[in-house]
Structure 1
Amino acid sequence: LTQWIGGMGIIVLTVAIFPLLGIGGVELFVAEAPGPTSDKLHPRISETAKRLWFIYVGLTCTLAIVLRICGMSTYESICHAFTTMATGGFSTRNASMAAFPPLIQYVTVVFMFIAGINYTVIYFGLKGKMKRVWQSDEFRAYIGLVAFLTLLVSVQVHFLSDVGWEQAFRDSVFQIVSLITTTGFVSADYTSWSMGLTFIFFILLFVGACAGSTSGGIKIIRHLVFAKNSILEFKRIVHPRAIIPLRLNGQVVRRKIITHIIIFLLLYLSIFVVGSLVLTWMGLDFLTAIGATATSIGNVGPGIGKVGPVDNFAWLSAPIKLFLSLLMLLGRLEIFTILVLFTPYFWRTN
């Protein structure tokens, strides 16, 4: 229940509240949405929040009913519906989703994927405005990334683990969607497949799904802006007199927003490096340290090393748990929000 309430709280903050406060959200929100940026859902925050809550509650109830029909108990279907739509990943079973049959895993994958979509995009999709949906560069990149990685990993799992195509596909798509959306459910031990695949899943800890969703992590929109800007900088070097604006969803992205995103990425990676060094100094081995840091700041759940998909954080010392809690808070509130709260200028102007 706490995960479910917190999930919608993040949606309302990023879509409705942050733009008013001007901390980390306003420029990013303008850059993030596909067309929802210009007209949002409703000019009044209260109406926007109501519509977001309606979608969130509706999807949660739908998932709970579907899980119940598929054979889950009423209690477990409600619990997993809460934590799936919130991309929280808490399960009633120690084995997580591996304890449930394939049909339930497939249903969970679909709703995890939906939970990783920008809620303004979901809103326009439900309204039948599919042109608005497909205008989103981030949404298309999200689908493409999941599809490409599922194909790549499925083939390798099939041949490396000597399992059938169906199980290879199911295990692959489940873990990929779970990590990208930062839900954190597990259905298989991806660290046992191969070092190459373990590296891919480690990288996924830094991706995140769409902005304006309940997922954590860096978010695909920031990766898109950074990648496009890097390509444009190369073109500007080749053609120094050319004026080549960066476009996202058909709109020009202001230089201020690009700078904001680059600074965010640098801060994120800096916190990751420092966090990993601190955990190593506190006694963790290198692999576990980088895995714990990456999964904590990204709010994912499973990592690599001794905090992998079949392990947990219970064995860690109290100081390490406190430090990881700080990283989780920084990551969940998008770093800038926390840092701004500690600046005198913010309190004087607000």
Structure 2
Amino acid sequence: MNFGFITYILGWILNFQSGFLFLTFVLSLFYGEKSGYALLVSAAISFLIGIICTWRKPKHKSFYAKDGFVAVALGWIVVSISGALPFVISGEIPSIFDAMFETISGYTTTGATILTNVEAMSKCLLFWRSFTHWIGGMGVLVFVMCILPLAGGNNMHLMRAESPGPSVGKLVPRVHSTAVILYGIYTALTVIEVIFLLAGGMSMFDAITTSFGTAGTGGFGVRNDSIAGYSTYIQNVVGVFMVLFGVNFSIYFLALVRKPKEILHSDELKSYIGIIIASTLIIGFNIRGYFPTLGKAIQQAFFQVGSIMTTTGFSTTDFNKWPSLSKGILVALMFVGACAGSTGGGIKVSRVVMAFKNIKNEIASFVHPKSIHTLRMEGKIVKNDVVRSVNTYLVLYFLVFAVSVLLISIENFSLETSFTSVAATLNNIGPGLDLVGPMDNFAKFNPFSKCVFMFDMLAGRLELIPMIILFSPWVWKRK
């Protein structure tokens, strides 16, 4: 284990974090809010520790896969602790457990909250709360790599550990250039959404914070009713952009370099769009009696389907009151999630598609034992190590899910509450059903349950392995 280089990386993460905090402090000066001092103090603490960690460059630059996993996991924990400081110092979220929960929920783009009155918070801390979505959406380490190549040719270990999906590739030969392209697309889409929201009459503050929540597929709103109080136009804009940010970002790169055939051959994209359309139509017809017209029912169904499947978590209505069929579909979409290589959470559409294709091949093998079946995605044969990693991920995922549900059940809430609260946090969605529905929050849980949720949010965002590795003793050996 290269502890020196990991410390160096953590130091740079804190340096950039101090910049983000200071930027938000400047905003507090514009609004004349006293709570801005908490951001300045937090920025100073982060910068001081960051400078100490990066004062000397590490002598050994050899960086292996396990180092990448540990660096990413510790990086997210460190950035969450640093990001929670403004809430605690300002006194707006005095409990360290609640502040950590809110911050981890922000960085992991989960959107679950312990706040009962969001609008009571100062604007600068509301901005910081939403800003954590945008920072964490594409990845903390990916952002740092955009500005500063950290580990030379070994940067791919960091990107693989942080990027969602069964396999991670480079858009261009250099990892640094890939990170720049990804964040360029990410920023461009965010700016375009801000423009569309401003055109609908949204204030600049609301437009930026809502776009942060949409881009990171996080779902922190600045109003107590989330997006419900805005116009149908605003809801539709947010709905469309939620779906766009749930698409694999490599698709946008292919569009930029004009390779339409590769886009059309994407099994994941076709499945993603197909699931959204089918779910919207089924739910729309199922809830038509809850709205004045069928068109309004479909519009509301599209928003909630997009919000849940992309794991954004914005809401325009209390779907907790919808029929069982509609709620059942939404719960299923919680597990499916968005596309690999997007800012969304969940198991990922590509893994689900691969799992079904693998099942189909296995059944065919039973019927025709001597036949040979290969698993293909986008017309290409999927390597055995990718199939193995998908199977391992699914087993580990449901193991973590089951253990988490059992731990949360100690509080003796309803099974629906325990089940969907874990689904909402492990899949980085935010709202669940029953006591954690779209109009409720997680404040009712005790500190132990909140710690379980915090682990689940980090594990879900980092694809389980980096967080699990932290508990493996052999990883911490120097050789």
State the partner residue of 2:352: 223
Secondary structure in structure 2 of the residue aligned to 1:261: helix
Indicate whether 1:183 and 2:320 are aligned: no
Secondary structure in structure 1 of the residue aligned to 2:167: helix
State the partner residue of 2:337: 208
Give 2:424's aligned amino acid.
Answer: T
**Consecutive unaligned residues in structure 1, runs of 5 or more:** 31-36
> How far did 1:303 drift?
0.4
Give 1:110's aligned amino acid.
Answer: V
State percent identity of aligned pairs. Answer: 36
Secondary structure in structure 2 of the residue aligned to 1:89: coil
Following TM superposition, the consecutive aligned residue runs of length 4 or more in structure 1 with deviations greater than 4 angstroms are: 15-19, 21-27, 344-350
TM-score (ref. length: structure 1): 0.91
Deviations 1:1-38 (A, max 9, x none): 1110111216939x9988435659699225xxxxxx5x
In the aligned structure 2, how far is the partner of 1:138 from the partner of 1:246? 14
1:160-309 paired onto structure 2 within 5 Å: 160-309=289-438
Quickly say closer, same or farther: Cα 1:200–1:27, change in 2 above 3 A: closer
Q: Which of residues 159, 172, 176 in structure 2 aligns to 1:42?
A: 172
State the partner residue of 2:198: 68
Partners of 2:162 and 2:462 within 8 A in 1:
no
Partners of 1:179 and 1:204 within 8 A in 2:
yes
Give 2:299's aligned amino acid.
Answer: R
In the aligned structure 1, how far is the partner of 2:450 from the partner of 2:228? 26
* More divergent stretch after superposition (167-176 vs 187-196): 187-196
Partners of 1:105 and 1:174 within 8 A in 2:
yes
Deviations 1:112-156 (A, max 9, x none): 011001111111123332212112110110011101111111111
In the aligned structure 1, how far is the partner of 2:155 from the partner of 2:431? 29
Partners of 2:338 and 2:345 within 8 A in 1:
yes
Give 2:382's aligned amino acid.
Answer: V
Deviations 1:170-197 (A, max 9, x none): 1100000000000000011112111121
Indicate whether 1:28 and 2:166 are aligned: yes
State the partner residue of 1:87: 217
In the aligned structure 1, how far is the partner of 2:281 from the partner of 2:141? 31
Partners of 1:157 and 1:163 within 8 A in 2:
no
Quickly say closer, same or farther: Cα 1:26–1:292, change in 2 above 3 A: closer
Give 2:260's aligned amino acid.
Answer: M
In the aligned structure 2, how far is the partner of 1:26 from the partner of 1:111? 19
Indicate whether 1:340 and 2:478 are aligned: no
In the aligned structure 2, how far is the partner of 1:349 from the partner of 1:250? 43
State the partner residue of 1:120: 250
In the aligned structure 1, how far is the partner of 2:230 from the partner of 2:418? 30
Question: May I ask how many residue pairs the two structures share in their alignment?
Answer: 340
In the aligned structure 2, how far is the partner of 1:134 from the partner of 1:347? 45
In the aligned structure 1, how far is the partner of 2:161 from the partner of 2:299? 40
Deviations 1:239-295 (A, max 9, x none): 111111111111111222112111211111122121111111123221100010110
TM-score (ref. length: structure 2): 0.67
Partners of 1:89 and 1:185 within 8 A in 2:
yes
Give 1:254's aligned amino acid.
Answer: K
Quickly say closer, same or farther: Cα 1:261–1:11, change in 2 above 3 A: farther
Partners of 2:165 and 2:340 within 8 A in 1:
no
In the aligned structure 1, how far is the partner of 2:350 from the partner of 2:262? 16
Partners of 1:299 and 1:328 within 8 A in 2:
yes
Partners of 1:8 and 1:53 within 8 A in 2:
yes
Quickly say closer, same or farther: Cα 1:44–1:268, change in 2 above 3 A: same
State the partner residue of 2:136: 6
Quickly say closer, same or farther: Cα 1:26–1:245, change in 2 above 3 A: farther
1:125-144 paired onto structure 2 within 5 Å: 125-144=255-274
Partners of 2:163 and 2:462 within 8 A in 1:
no
Quickly say closer, same or farther: Cα 1:26–1:162, change in 2 above 3 A: closer
Partners of 1:10 and 1:214 within 8 A in 2:
no
In the aligned structure 2, how far is the partner of 1:52 from the partner of 1:265? 27
Which structure is larger by alpha-carbon Rg, 1 or 2? Answer: 2
Give 1:125's aligned amino acid.
Answer: A
Quickly say closer, same or farther: Cα 1:192–1:60, change in 2 above 3 A: same
Give 2:234's aligned amino acid.
Answer: I
**Consecutive unaligned residues in structure 2, runs of 5 or more:** 1-130, 147-153
